[in-house]
């Protein structure tokens, strides 16, 4: 059994977790998350400098609480991990420097974790998670990607968003409709009272060089603009704006795009397991639609636990445990942080000469 202390500070959640595993069973001993939503709500989005300062302020208290709740002394910890890429650079530095300082102070090995690998590792806390090669739909505020994941963490990006990620589109449309931040939960809540087929909205595609379309890629900027144009037209017509109907129609189209392209990708690559993770994976419409459509194609769907969909340190700890179990990877204490770094290169975080 290994015990990992993990730190996540890539954006606007300050989180520390203690996790362990025995064989294929992964367990959360503590997972403390201090959200900064209230601090950024008045700005309608995350302010990087403010987020970094809040991490610096909150991290000592979150760390203390995580250790206390786990009933584990820091000397009993086997490994310490932190998110090092991608994310807001100032925020990543706070978590990474804290983790590496603890490693130096207590003589513990360090693992730098790719944030997206953390998200896809959240499924390890579910029962019957896939152990053979599977397809992951990672859909969050900053990322919308289709990632093929091998048995030993060989990762290949098969699809991605070329502009707004789905979560960004939810936030921007929510702001347009006068809803609270973050937009995802606000839109989902009001959409329950709306008609999802009231308005016809576009399922935007990305053109390829041959005159066709990239089958597995996403674009939500055009959908966001279509909602804006619809809102402007209805405003000019006078009368009450049917916010619930717009929200429901938008939510439906986003879910349909995500599901259709994910199922298409899984079929084309002969994959029988689909994992859905990330903040938007908590959306009930998406979850129900994915299960319904995948079942028709004899594809198994594995959904991240609802409490682990948004950013948290437990998923970072799970990624570290997986790396330790199968590949004995460790990172150099000289490893820095990077705002952008492809998940296909995650293994380089454990090389003797760090990539950054």
Domain containing 143 — which CATH number? 3.30.420.40
More confident residue, 208 or 101: 101
Same domain, 217 and 334: no
Same domain, 262 and 339: no
Instruction: Give the lowest-confidence range in 183-187, 207-211, 312-316.
Output: 207-211
| Percent of the chain whose predicted confidence (pLDDT) is above 70 | 99
> Is there a domain that residue 355 lies in?
no
What pLDDT is recorded for position 105?
A: 98
Same domain, 338 and 206: no
> Is there a domain that residue 146 lies in?
yes
d(CA 257, CA 220): 10
Q: Which of 344, 340, 346, 312 is nearest to 327 (CA)?
A: 346
What pLDDT is recorded for position 208?
A: 84
| Neighbouring C-beta atoms of residue 119, cutoff 10 Å | 31
Same domain, 189 and 163: yes
Same domain, 53 and 113: yes
Average pLDDT over residues 8-34: 96
Same domain, 148 and 286: yes
Angle between helices 183-191 and 284-296 (to 10 degrees): 70
Same domain, 293 and 336: no
What average pLDDT does the chain have? 95
> Is there a domain that residue 17 lies in?
yes
> Is there a domain that residue 250 lies in?
yes
> Is there a domain that residue 356 lies in?
no
Q: How confident is the model at residue 237 (pLDDT cuts 50, 70, 90)?
A: confident
Counting the structural domains of the chain, the total is 2
Same domain, 99 and 185: no
Among residues 264, 288, 303, which one ends one of the domains? 303
Torsion of CA 235, 236, 238, 241, to 10 degrees: -20
Give the range of the structural domain holding residue 210, as residue numbers without chain letter: 130-303
Same domain, 269 and 134: yes
Q: What is the pTM of this model?
A: 0.94
Same domain, 298 and 315: no
Same domain, 299 and 318: no
> Is there a domain that residue 95 lies in?
yes
> Is there a domain that residue 268 lies in?
yes
Give Cβ neighbours of residue 68 (< 8 Å, ≥ 6 apart).
30
Torsion of CA 334, 337, 341, 343, to 10 degrees: 70
Same domain, 55 and 8: yes
> Is there a domain that residue 30 lies in?
yes
* First vs last C-alpha separation in the chain: 31
pLDDT score of 262 more than 80: yes
């Amino acid at each position: 059994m290994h015990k990992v202390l993990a730190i996540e500070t890539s954006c606007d959640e300050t989180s520390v977790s203690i996790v362990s595993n025995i064989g294929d069973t992964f367990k959360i001993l503590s997972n403390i998350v201090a959200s900064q939503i209230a601090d950024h709500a008045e700005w309608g989005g995350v302010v990087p400098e403010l987020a970094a300062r809040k991490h610096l302020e909150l991290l000592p208290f979150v760390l203390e609480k995580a250790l206390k709740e786990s009933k584990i002394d820091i000397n009993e910890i086997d490994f310490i991990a932190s998110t090092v890429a991608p994310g807001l650079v100032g925020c990543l530095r706070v978590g990474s420097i804290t983790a590496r300082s603890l490693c130096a102070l207590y003589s513990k090995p360090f693992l730098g974790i790719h944030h997206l690998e953390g998200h896809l590792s959240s499924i390890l806390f579910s029962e019957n998670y896939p152990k053979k090669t599977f397809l992951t739909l990672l859909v969050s505020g900053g990322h919308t990607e289709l990632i093929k994941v091998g048995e030993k963490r060989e990762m290949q990006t098969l699809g991605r968003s070329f502009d707004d990620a789905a979560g960004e589109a939810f936030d921007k449309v929510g702001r347009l409709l006068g809803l609270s931040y973050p937009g995802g939960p606000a839109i989902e809540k009001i959409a329950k009272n709306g008609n999802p087929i009231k308005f016809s909205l576009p399922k935007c595609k990305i053109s390829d060089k041959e005159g066709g379309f990239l089958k597995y890629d996403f674009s939500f900027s055009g959908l966001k603009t279509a909602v804006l144009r619809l809102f402007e037209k209805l405003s000019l017509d006078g009368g009450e704006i049917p916010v619930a109907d717009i929200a429901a129609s938008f939510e439906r189209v986003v879910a349909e795009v995500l599901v259709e392209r994910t199922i298409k990708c899984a079929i084309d690559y002969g994959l029988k397991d689909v994992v859905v993770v990330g903040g938007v994976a908590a959306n009930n419409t998406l979850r129900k639609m994915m299960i319904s459509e995948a079942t028709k194609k004899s594809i198994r769907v594995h959904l991240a636990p609802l409490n682990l969909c948004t950013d948290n340190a437990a998923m970072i700890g799970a990624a570290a445990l997986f790396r330790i179990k199968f590949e004995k990877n460790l990172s150099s204490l000289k490893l820095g942080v990077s705002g952008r770094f492809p998940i296909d290169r995650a293994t380089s975080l454990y090389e003797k000469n760090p990539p950054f």
